């Protein structure tokens, strides 16, 4: 049996995931992180993207995260998430529509404040679509 690390994913509403995993892959603010047992302790922000979980038996689970904080200790990983949704529960049509709307509004920007809000909306919609694509690719 491969070594495991405890992963806890929580949002404001509830505990999303709590179990032993072989590896966690998440998009930190400075890039993609692959976390395995014994990882160097760290604390970082998470940007909109995917959380890929490798469970014992090489089973993969994928979630979308809108952002949050990641804390790594040698044998426990905690993700405090703004919003987390299992990839299978994402609506691909809604995400594509949201991305298209943000792109249209960005092309007609009226102020810097709207611009930054629209960029964040675009990043989240794009991350949802990538999460859906990743989940579909794993099913094949």
Helix axes 112-139, 92-107, angle to 10 degrees: 150
How high is the pLDDT of residue 104?
A: 76
State the average pLDDT over residues 124-137.
Answer: 77
Indicate if the pLDDT at residue 76 is higher than 90.
yes
Task: Specify the higher pLDDT residue, 126 or 58.
Answer: 58
Under 8 Å between Cβ of 135 and 88: yes
Q: What would the pLDDT profile of 39-70 be if each residue is shown by its tens digit? A: 999 999 999 888 999 999 989 999 988 889 99
CB count within 10 Å of CB 25 equals 17
Distance of CA 46 to the CA centre of its chain: 8
From residue 50, give the alpha-carbon distance in Å to each of 106, 111, 112, 132. Answer: 24, 30, 28, 9
Closest C-alpha among 93, 104, 96, 105 to residue 124: 96
How high is the pLDDT of residue 110?
A: 60
User: What does the mean pLDDT of the chain come to?
Assistant: 85
Distance of CA 53 to the CA centre of its chain: 10
């Amino acid at each position: 049996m491969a070594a495991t690390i405890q992963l806890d994913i929580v949002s404001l509403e509830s505990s999303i995931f709590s179990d032993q995993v072989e590896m966690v892959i998440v998009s930190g603010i400075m890039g993609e992180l692959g976390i395995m047992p014994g990882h160097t302790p760290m604390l970082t922000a998470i940007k909109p993207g995917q959380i890929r979980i490798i469970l014992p038996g090489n089973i993969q689970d994928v979630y979308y995260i809108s952002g949050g904080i990641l804390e790594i200790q040698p044998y426990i990983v905690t993700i405090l998430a703004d919003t987390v949704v299992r990839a299978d529960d994402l609506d691909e049509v809604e995400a594509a529509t949201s991305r298209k709307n943000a792109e249209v509004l960005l092309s007609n920007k009226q102020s810097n404040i709207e611009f930054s809000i629209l960029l964040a909306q675009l990043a989240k919609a794009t991350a949802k679509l990538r999460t859906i694509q990743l989940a579909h690719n794993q099913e094949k």
